[in-house]
Amino acid sequence: MKKLAKALLTLTLGAGIALSAAALSACGSSKEMLIDGDFSTQATEAQLTTLRGYVSDFNSDDLLGDTEASGWSYNARYNASGSISASMNVSMEGQTAGMDLDTDVNYDHTISMANVDSGVSVRGSGNMSYGFNLSMSSPGEEDYRISAELDGSSYNDEDYFYLNGSVNLNDNGSGQIQSTKVKFDLDMLFGNIFQTGSTSSGMIVDISPALDALEAAGAAVYVDESSSFKVKISLSSQGWAEMYAEAIEDFAGMVGSYIDLNVIANNTDFGHCDIYLDFNKDTGVLLGYGSSVDAEFGYSATVSGASVSVTYDMDIDSWFVSTDEEAGQLPSDLGEYQYAVM
């Protein structure tokens, strides 16, 4: 059962393109469009060539500027709002097994980096509201539940992410943590919530999904060069299916149901899937990266006499943008925060 739980968790954590994104508005119910422009005209071949030049260097040291230069600094705002849910049910001979997962994300966190005499200084501040709930049931077994809820003021330094607020972590009733001041490994938060790469590798944002989106079926690319080099990549339902097919196929395969790309595309209530990029036209430095996704997949089939249903619903916006506003100063009592693992 825990293997299936991990598969559902992977589906959720891989969904925020920035967050994949993200690729992931300030705490509240509203969403913000943080990379806006005139995206009414599709890109020319020359603009596409320029764009491919920018994104092909996504893992270079220059993506955020010359980080080795004296006086270099960069303020990165991570912002997300939305929800992701997934479910699976298998029924056979009057018995049913199932799983339901719900994730709600809402955060606005700024990280300031700068070259100083002692090396690179890193600090961050903002706010976060994050909820994760997973429940599983199987005939003859006790129901299994995992939950995580984080809500409060957020901070980070080079090693840890800190939260001052309400924190509840529960693994099927054991290992529960309830605290107002908790710290997590920063790499873990980047991989599981910010979904932007690993700080240990020096990558605080991963724009590689934009490369995949450019090659996806039916992708339409729009460019606004009026100030910076702003890009909107709009995917079709087929393109969205290509982006998420592997995770959905693997999940369905664990219960013996084969779902191919066309099945995913044809059984999706598709709203939109848009990826945004923003570059400095002169230097190629990344100014922003984000995504906005609204799509719901639902599929039912009979497999070896069992009725199988799978759903996957995304409605989330996630952003990474350069900002002039620096992160706030860190509290003086961070050494008192309790260490936790998610």
Matching residue, tokens 């060539």: 49
Residue 152 has pLDDT above 90, yes or no: yes
- Integer distance in angstroms from the first to the last C-alpha of the chain? 18
Q: Are 103 and 131 in contact (CB under 8 A)?
A: yes
> What is the C-alpha to C-alpha distance for residues 68 and 65, in angstroms, rounded to an integer?
9
pLDDT tens-digit series, residues 260-284: 778 888 889 999 999 999 999 998 8
pLDDT tens-digit series, residues 278-315: 999 998 899 999 999 999 989 888 877 888 888 889 99
Question: DSSP for 50-113?
Answer: HHHHHHTTTTSTTTTS-TTSTT-EEEEEEEEEEEEEEEEEEEETTEEEEEEEEEEEEEEEEEEE
pLDDT range class, residue 13, cuts 50, 70, 90: very low
Residue boundaries of the structural domains of the chain? 2-339
User: Rounded to two decimals, what is the model's pTM?
Assistant: 0.83
Q: Considering Cα of 59, then 288, then 31, then 188, what sign does the dihedral take?
A: positive
pLDDT range class, residue 7, cuts 50, 70, 90: very low
pLDDT tens-digit series, residues 43-76: 999 999 999 888 876 555 578 888 888 899 999 9
> What is the C-alpha to C-alpha distance for residues 276 and 34, in angstroms, rounded to an integer?
9
Matching residue, tokens 């890009």: 231
Looking at the chain, the whole-number percentage of residues with pLDDT higher than 90 is: 40
Q: Considering Cα of 319, then 10, then 170, then 161, what sign does the dihedral take?
A: negative
